[in-house]
Amino acid sequence: MSRTPRGETRSRILEFMRRRIAAGEPPTVREVQQAFGFRAVESARAHLRALVQAGQLVHLPGRARGYRLPEPVGALSWVPLLGRVQAGALSDAIEAPEGYVPVRAQDAGKAHFALRVVGWSMVGAGILPGDLVIVRRQPTAHSGEIVVALVGDEATVKTLRLRGGQVVLEAQNPDFPPIFPDPESLRILGKVVEVRRYLEEGS
């Protein structure tokens, strides 16, 4: 039986595993076997075992489709892209997201969502209309951080500033005056942890 030179098949298998796992579909040992034309399941498994040995894969013994990628390549998640967010309707909006955006797993979980920016008020911070902001939900924030806050009935993106005990929402654009919200009615939805701009159609 002819045979591929040392190590070459192995890295091709790693590539195969990376693709499949990243696509959310870890393969079975037998799928690896077939994909590479082995005639025995064990041949595939030996390669997988070697890749685990080399630290390039992680194995959960006994579990079906139990091979994973070691961090940081492996972990990622999706965050719901909400349209406009009305006061109090945040949880409703999460029920019917406009779409989903991939993020690193550390930014995942229920605590995050994404919004599309409307208007030019934050150009000074490099945030343009149409950009997506990824927001970690939290009820407070530090001075200087960019937050999503409810002002009136609509969510807006602004820089939070504390001026002598007084909360100010600053735009990053001289054309937009700062907002001095009533502390009672101010509600911080979360902190902007990422800004994203797609330059081609499709979100």
Q: Which residues are catalytic?
A: 121, 158
Closest CB 152 distance from a second copy, rounded Å: 25
- Parallel, antiparallel or unpaired: strands 154-163 and 166-170: antiparallel
Least Å distance, CB 1 to DNA, is: 5
Rounded-to-integer distance, Cα 198 and Cα 49, Å = 40
Output the DSSP codes for 107-128: G-STTEEEEE--SSTTGGGT--
Minimum CB distance to DNA, residue 28 (Å): 3
Among 1, 23, 96, 199, binds DNA (CB under 7 A): 1
- In the complex with DNA, which residue's Cβ is closer, 41 or 168? 41
Binding to DNA (CB under 7 A) within 19-78 occurs at: 28-30, 38-43, 45-47, 50, 59, 61-66
| Distance of closest approach, residue 44 Cβ to a second copy, in angstroms | 16
What CA–CA distance (Å, rounded) separates 110 from 105? 12
CA distance 128 to 121: 8
Residues that bind a second copy (CB under 8 A): 11, 15, 18-19, 21-26, 28, 64-65, 68-69, 72-78, 95, 99-100, 102-106, 108-110, 123, 126-128, 131, 145-146, 192-200, 202-203
Q: How far is residue 182's CA from residue 163's CA, in Å, rounded to a whole number?
A: 14
Neighbour-count burial for 31-52, b at 16+ CB within 10 Å, e otherwise: ebbeeeebeeeeebeebbeebb
Binding site for DNA (CB under 7 A): 1-7, 9-10, 28-30, 38-43, 45-47, 50, 59, 61-66
